[in-house]
Amino acid sequence: MIIFPAIDIKGGKCVRLLKGNFSKVTEYKKSPLEQAKEFLNLGFQNIHIVDLDGALKENPVNKNIIKEIAKIDKIKIQVGGGIRSLDHIQKLINFGVDKVILGTAAVNDIEFLKSACDKFYNKIVLSLDVRDGYIALSGWEKQTNILAVDFIKKILNFNISRIVYTDINKDGTKTGPNFKETINFSNLAKIPTVISGGVSSIDDIVKIEKKDAPNIEGIIVGKAIYDGNINVNELIKII
């Protein structure tokens, strides 16, 4: 089980949103670079980073910050937000990013997703941000009528490294992840899947480790760390 502490970047700062609402933003004191270094010093080697500005503008915005984080020795970062072209992907990989997350562009253009998977072997992560079972795009502001379980059937033969499955209604709420829906999805996809949204305590992480969920690869932890609901020193012990 990989635990991914999350860094969401907006305006050059670490922030967390409530249910993906850009009008409900909490800012934190540490810079993204400082926070990444702190996570590494605590013992976390995998970090989930989202360029929220990039997601809104459909073009990576906080590239310089991501580049500096990628330079940190012994750290693996997966990065998403506004990535819309093979050139965007190539630049991030050149920075030293471990995996690149595609969301809106992948759903809107399946052929682009396939081309990215073919060109960048084992580097592409598919992000599915889901609200009541249906995929949302463009920083969660555009709601589609595409069921996540229907979409995944179209791309099962693609070389997708992993899927990040985010329950938008849970994100930032600290009310516990949507285990049932995510596990059911992972069983259908049969692709390593990362749970995202709603983690409230270490108990949530222990619960998923105890479940029969062979395709669950990891879990993303965000607001519960920043707000002190999870003691990171205890969390690192269960990695």
Helix residue spans in 19-62 (DSSP H)? 32-42, 52-57
pLDDT in tens, 195-221: 998 898 999 988 888 888 999 999 999
- For 36, 48, 132, 161, 188, the CA distances from 214, given in Å and listed in that order, are 29, 21, 24, 15, 12
Structure confidence at residue 238 as a pLDDT band (50, 70, 90): confident
Three-class DSSP category at 128: strand
Q: What is the pLDDT of residue 20?
A: 66
Q: Would you call 129 a catalytic residue per the annotation?
A: yes
pLDDT in tens, 160-170: 999 999 998 88
Q: Would you call 118 a catalytic residue per the annotation?
A: no
Q: What is the pLDDT of residue 183?
A: 94
- What amino acid occupies position 204? D
Residues 6 or more apart whose Cβ sits within 8 Å of residue 216: 1, 182, 183, 186, 192, 193, 194, 195, 208
Helix residue spans in 139-201 (DSSP H)? 148-153, 179-189
Is the pLDDT reported for residue 141 higher than 90? no
The gap from C-alpha 100 to its chain's centroid, in whole angstroms, comes to: 10
- For 3, 127, 173, 214, the CA distances from 196, given in Å and listed in that order, are 11, 10, 12, 17
Residue 187, token pair as written in the block: 């069983």
Select which of 8, 53, 171, 204 is catalytic.
Answer: 8
Residue 162 · residue 185 · CB < 8 Å? no
Average model confidence (pLDDT) across the chain: 92
Residue 203 · residue 231 · CB < 8 Å? no
Catalogue all structural domains in the chain, each as residue range(s) with its CATH number: 2-238 (3.20.20.70)
Residue 147 region by backbone torsions, left for phi larger than 0, else alpha for psi between -120 and 50, else beta: beta
User: pTM for this one?
Assistant: 0.92
Structure confidence at residue 53 as a pLDDT band (50, 70, 90): very high
Q: What is the pLDDT of residue 16?
A: 80
Report, as an integer, the average pLDDT of 34-60.
Answer: 92
Select which of 51, 53, 98, 129 is catalytic.
Answer: 129
E-assigned strand segments in the chain: 2-10, 13-18, 21-27, 46-51, 76-80, 99-102, 124-131, 134-137, 142-147, 162-167, 193-196, 216-221
Q: What is the pLDDT of residue 59?
A: 87
Is the pLDDT reported for residue 34 higher than 90? yes
Report, as an integer, the average pLDDT of 81-100.
Answer: 96
Helix axis angle, 86-95 to 110-119, nearest 10°? 40
pLDDT in tens, 2-24: 999 999 999 999 998 776 677 77
